[in-house]
Amino acid sequence: MSNTAGRIEPAISDIDQLKDHPAMARLLSWKAEAVTGAKFDRNELTITVDRAFIRDACSILKAEFNFLSDVTAVDWLPAEPRFQVTYHLLSHSLKERVRLRVMLNGDNANVESIISVWPAANFFEREVHDLFGIRFIGHPNMARILMPDDWEGHPLRKDYPVEGYR
Protein backbone atom coordinates (compact mmCIF):
# COMPACT_ATOMS: atom_id res chain seq x y z
CA MET A 1 0.00 0.00 0.00
CA SER A 2 1.39 3.36 -0.99
CA ASN A 3 1.54 5.69 1.94
CA THR A 4 1.79 8.96 0.03
CA ALA A 5 -0.16 11.37 -2.08
CA GLY A 6 0.85 9.46 -5.22
CA ARG A 7 1.00 11.22 -8.58
CA ILE A 8 4.72 10.59 -8.96
CA GLU A 9 5.68 10.37 -12.60
CA PRO A 10 7.69 7.25 -13.36
CA ALA A 11 11.40 7.91 -13.74
CA ILE A 12 12.92 7.83 -17.21
CA SER A 13 16.17 5.91 -17.25
CA ASP A 14 16.62 5.37 -20.97
CA ILE A 15 19.70 7.20 -22.24
CA ASP A 16 18.20 7.53 -25.73
CA GLN A 17 15.18 9.43 -24.44
CA LEU A 18 17.36 11.82 -22.45
CA LYS A 19 20.04 12.53 -25.03
CA ASP A 20 18.59 15.97 -25.86
CA HIS A 21 19.23 17.42 -22.44
CA PRO A 22 22.13 19.90 -22.81
CA ALA A 23 24.35 18.09 -20.29
CA MET A 24 23.68 14.67 -21.82
CA ALA A 25 24.23 15.94 -25.35
CA ARG A 26 27.54 17.45 -24.38
CA LEU A 27 28.79 14.33 -22.62
CA LEU A 28 27.60 11.91 -25.30
CA SER A 29 29.17 13.87 -28.12
CA TRP A 30 32.42 13.98 -26.16
CA LYS A 31 32.67 10.38 -25.03
CA ALA A 32 29.66 8.09 -25.00
CA GLU A 33 31.37 5.40 -22.92
CA ALA A 34 31.82 7.86 -20.03
CA VAL A 35 28.06 7.84 -19.44
CA THR A 36 27.05 4.57 -17.84
CA GLY A 37 23.50 5.54 -16.94
CA ALA A 38 21.01 8.34 -16.64
CA LYS A 39 17.79 8.99 -14.81
CA PHE A 40 15.20 11.73 -15.08
CA ASP A 41 13.16 11.67 -11.91
CA ARG A 42 11.01 14.37 -10.27
CA ASN A 43 12.22 16.88 -12.82
CA GLU A 44 15.89 16.33 -12.01
CA LEU A 45 18.46 14.73 -14.25
CA THR A 46 21.06 12.38 -12.78
CA ILE A 47 23.91 11.16 -14.96
CA THR A 48 26.04 8.27 -13.83
CA VAL A 49 29.60 8.82 -14.99
CA ASP A 50 32.32 6.19 -15.13
CA ARG A 51 34.79 6.85 -12.31
CA ALA A 52 37.71 7.14 -14.71
CA PHE A 53 36.17 10.11 -16.52
CA ILE A 54 34.64 12.24 -13.77
CA ARG A 55 37.23 15.01 -13.83
CA ASP A 56 37.18 15.26 -17.61
CA ALA A 57 33.39 15.09 -17.68
CA CYS A 58 33.27 18.02 -15.26
CA SER A 59 35.64 20.09 -17.36
CA ILE A 60 33.60 19.32 -20.49
CA LEU A 61 30.39 20.36 -18.75
CA LYS A 62 31.94 23.45 -17.21
CA ALA A 63 31.46 25.41 -20.44
CA GLU A 64 27.73 25.37 -19.85
CA PHE A 65 27.26 24.26 -16.25
CA ASN A 66 29.61 26.86 -14.88
CA PHE A 67 28.96 26.56 -11.14
CA LEU A 68 29.69 23.71 -8.74
CA SER A 69 26.99 23.77 -6.07
CA ASP A 70 27.88 20.78 -4.02
CA VAL A 71 29.81 17.53 -3.71
CA THR A 72 28.59 14.87 -1.32
CA ALA A 73 28.21 11.12 -1.01
CA VAL A 74 25.77 8.36 -0.08
CA ASP A 75 26.69 5.03 1.48
CA TRP A 76 24.57 2.20 0.03
CA LEU A 77 25.86 -0.53 2.37
CA PRO A 78 25.48 -3.54 1.95
CA ALA A 79 25.13 -3.00 -1.82
CA GLU A 80 28.15 -2.98 -4.08
CA PRO A 81 29.30 -0.63 -5.48
CA ARG A 82 28.87 0.81 -2.05
CA PHE A 83 29.54 4.55 -2.34
CA GLN A 84 27.86 7.08 -4.54
CA VAL A 85 29.68 10.40 -4.89
CA THR A 86 27.23 13.08 -5.99
CA TYR A 87 28.12 16.30 -7.78
CA HIS A 88 25.54 19.06 -8.22
CA LEU A 89 26.29 21.40 -11.09
CA LEU A 90 24.38 24.56 -11.87
CA SER A 91 24.16 26.50 -15.10
CA HIS A 92 23.70 30.25 -14.64
CA SER A 93 22.88 30.71 -18.32
CA LEU A 94 20.39 27.83 -18.71
CA LYS A 95 19.00 28.19 -15.16
CA GLU A 96 19.20 24.45 -14.84
CA ARG A 97 20.89 21.89 -12.62
CA VAL A 98 22.38 18.52 -13.35
CA ARG A 99 23.50 15.84 -10.94
CA LEU A 100 26.52 13.67 -11.72
CA ARG A 101 27.20 10.56 -9.75
CA VAL A 102 30.08 8.16 -9.56
CA MET A 103 29.74 4.71 -8.02
CA LEU A 104 32.68 3.38 -6.01
CA ASN A 105 33.40 -0.03 -4.55
CA GLY A 106 33.84 -0.19 -0.78
CA ASP A 107 37.32 -1.74 -0.96
CA ASN A 108 38.57 0.80 -3.48
CA ALA A 109 36.85 4.01 -2.46
CA ASN A 110 38.77 6.66 -4.31
CA VAL A 111 38.09 8.94 -7.21
CA GLU A 112 39.92 11.69 -9.00
CA SER A 113 39.57 15.13 -7.43
CA ILE A 114 37.85 17.83 -9.48
CA ILE A 115 39.66 20.61 -7.66
CA SER A 116 41.54 21.50 -10.85
CA VAL A 117 38.20 22.21 -12.54
CA TRP A 118 36.55 24.04 -9.65
CA PRO A 119 38.64 25.12 -6.65
CA ALA A 120 35.30 25.19 -4.80
CA ALA A 121 35.52 21.39 -4.56
CA ASN A 122 38.28 21.73 -1.97
CA PHE A 123 36.18 21.84 1.21
CA PHE A 124 33.41 19.64 -0.19
CA GLU A 125 35.83 16.84 -1.04
CA ARG A 126 37.53 17.14 2.31
CA GLU A 127 34.16 16.80 4.01
CA VAL A 128 33.30 13.67 2.01
CA HIS A 129 36.71 12.26 2.86
CA ASP A 130 36.26 13.08 6.53
CA LEU A 131 32.76 11.68 6.94
CA PHE A 132 32.80 8.79 4.43
CA GLY A 133 36.44 7.85 4.10
CA ILE A 134 36.48 8.30 0.32
CA ARG A 135 39.82 9.50 -0.99
CA PHE A 136 40.09 12.10 -3.73
CA ILE A 137 43.20 11.56 -5.79
CA GLY A 138 45.04 14.75 -6.58
CA HIS A 139 43.53 16.77 -3.73
CA PRO A 140 46.31 18.93 -2.24
CA ASN A 141 45.22 18.55 1.38
CA MET A 142 43.26 15.37 2.00
CA ALA A 143 42.87 16.01 5.75
CA ARG A 144 39.86 15.85 8.03
CA ILE A 145 37.85 19.04 8.15
CA LEU A 146 34.95 18.67 10.60
CA MET A 147 36.07 15.85 12.89
CA PRO A 148 39.19 16.08 15.07
CA ASP A 149 42.44 14.96 13.39
CA ASP A 150 42.77 11.90 15.63
CA TRP A 151 39.21 10.67 15.18
CA GLU A 152 38.76 7.02 14.29
CA GLY A 153 36.18 6.00 11.72
CA HIS A 154 33.95 7.89 9.34
CA PRO A 155 30.66 8.95 10.93
CA LEU A 156 28.35 9.05 7.91
CA ARG A 157 29.06 5.48 6.89
CA LYS A 158 26.09 3.25 7.50
CA ASP A 159 28.06 0.85 9.68
CA TYR A 160 28.83 3.68 12.08
CA PRO A 161 26.20 3.87 14.85
CA VAL A 162 24.04 6.94 15.40
CA GLU A 163 24.54 6.76 19.16
CA GLY A 164 26.63 4.90 21.69
CA TYR A 165 30.15 3.53 21.32
CA ARG A 166 31.46 1.75 18.33
The window from 16-24, 29-37, 104-112, 142-150 that contacts another protein (CB under 8 A) reads: 142-150
Q: Is 154 in the site for another protein (CB under 8 A)?
A: no
Crossing angle for the helix pair 22-30 and 54-61, nearest 10 degrees? 120
Pick the closer one to another protein by CB: 31 or 96: 96
Q: Is 166 in the site for another protein (CB under 8 A)?
A: no
Q: Is 148 in the site for another protein (CB under 8 A)?
A: yes
DSSP assignments along 103-150, one per residue: EE-GGG-EEE--TTT-TTHHHHHHHHHHHH--EEET-TT---SSS-TT
Compute the CA torsion angle 139, 55, 156, 105 (nearest 10 deg): -110
Q: Is 156 in the site for another protein (CB under 8 A)?
A: yes
Pick the closer one to another protein by CB: 29 or 140: 140
The window from 13-21, 28-36, 41-49, 52-60 that contacts another protein (CB under 8 A) reads: 41-49
Of these, 74, 81, 110, 135, which contacts another protein (CB under 8 A)?
74
Short-list 96, 32, 85, 18, CA closest to 60: 32
Q: Is 64 in the site for another protein (CB under 8 A)?
A: no
Alpha carbons 66 and 30: distance in angstroms, whole number: 17
Buried b / exposed e across 91-129, counting CB within 10 Å, b at 16+?
A: beeeebbbbbbbbbebeebbbbbbbebbeebbebbbbbb
Q: Is 153 in the site for another protein (CB under 8 A)?
A: no
Q: How many CB atoms lie within 10 A of CB 11?
A: 12
Q: Is 81 in the site for another protein (CB under 8 A)?
A: no
Kindly list the residues in this chain that would bind another protein in the complex (CB under 8 A). Answer: 2-5, 7-9, 11, 41-44, 46, 66-70, 72, 74-75, 86, 88, 92, 95, 97, 99, 118-120, 122-124, 127, 131, 141, 143-149, 155-156, 160, 162-163
